[in-house]
């Protein structure tokens, strides 16, 4: 964390996991209460995926804490299961810049963008297979059109023109 925070090292998830794995069974074990995992999946091959879901435009200053959370999840998992294949990921379920690419520059230097971040289609297609994100967008559009009168009627009481 220190090297990333002062930019003397670059994020590399594989190296970080290996460094944690090398010490995960040594020293005095302390009881910790890590941040709750939003989504946990276990792949058919036993890989443990732990997701922290964030808003579409998270505060750039929060990425240091996001990274700390991901590393703590790796450490607590490996402390209990030192041979586990664990992947910790920040998930941003929606790209507000669509059709442009999601702007990732605020995360560069703290997150290994290739291995620690899934945005929009990357996230939903990972969970549900190729095309899951497009299917979700279609469902939201259909429901929005169908329920438009009901939605408009609800919000009219907040419209003070």
Segments making up each domain of the chain, as ranges: 2-128, 131-161
What's the first-to-final CA gap in the chain, in angstroms?
Answer: 50
Instruction: State the pLDDT at residue 24.
Output: 86
> What span, in angstroms and rounded, lies between the C-alpha atoms of 144 and 131?
20
Asked if CATH classification 1.10.1330 holds for the domain at 2-128, the reply, yes or no, is no
The pTM (predicted TM-score) of the whole model is 0.84
Higher pLDDT, 133 or 95: 133
Q: What is the pLDDT of residues 77-132, one digit of tens each?
A: 999 999 999 999 999 998 888 888 887 666 767 888 899 999 999 999 999 999 99
- For residue 101, the model assigns a pLDDT of 85
**What pLDDT is stored for residue 1 in this prediction?**
65
Distance CA(63)–CA(106), nearest Å, equals 8
pLDDT tens digits for 22-79?
A: 998 888 888 888 889 999 999 999 999 999 999 877 776 677 889 999 999 999 999 9
Q: For residue 122, how many other CB atoms are within 10 A of its CB?
A: 16
CA distance linking residue 105 with residue 93, whole number of Å: 18
- Report how far apart, in Å, the C-alpha atoms of 161 and of each of 47, 57, 152, 158 are: 54, 29, 15, 9
Greater confidence, 161 or 98? 98
How far apart CA 131 and CA 28 sit, in angstroms, is: 47
| E strand or H helix that includes residue 121 | helix 121-128
Greatest Cα pair distance in the chain: 65
pLDDT confidence tier of residue 161, bands split at 50, 70 and 90: low
């Amino acid at each position: 964390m220190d090297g990333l925070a002062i930019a003397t090292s670059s994020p590399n998830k594989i190296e970080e996991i290996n460094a944690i794995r090398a010490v995960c069974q040594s020293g005095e074990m302390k009881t910790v209460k890590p941040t709750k995992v939003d989504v946990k999946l276990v792949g058919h091959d036993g890989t443990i995926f732990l997701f922290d879901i964030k808003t579409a435009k998270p505060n750039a200053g929060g990425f240091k804490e996001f990274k700390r959370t991901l590393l703590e999840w790796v450490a607590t998992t490996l402390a209990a299961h030192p041979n586990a294949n664990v992947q910790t990921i920040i998930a941003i379920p929606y790209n507000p810049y669509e059709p442009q690419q999601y702007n990732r520059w605020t995360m560069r230097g703290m997150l290994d963008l290739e291995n620690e971040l899934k945005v929009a289609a990357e996230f939903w297609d990972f969970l549900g297979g190729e095309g899951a994100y497009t299917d979700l967008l279609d469902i939201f559009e259909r429901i929005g059109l169908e329920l438009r009168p009901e939605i408009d009627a609800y919000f009219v009481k907040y419209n003070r023109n």
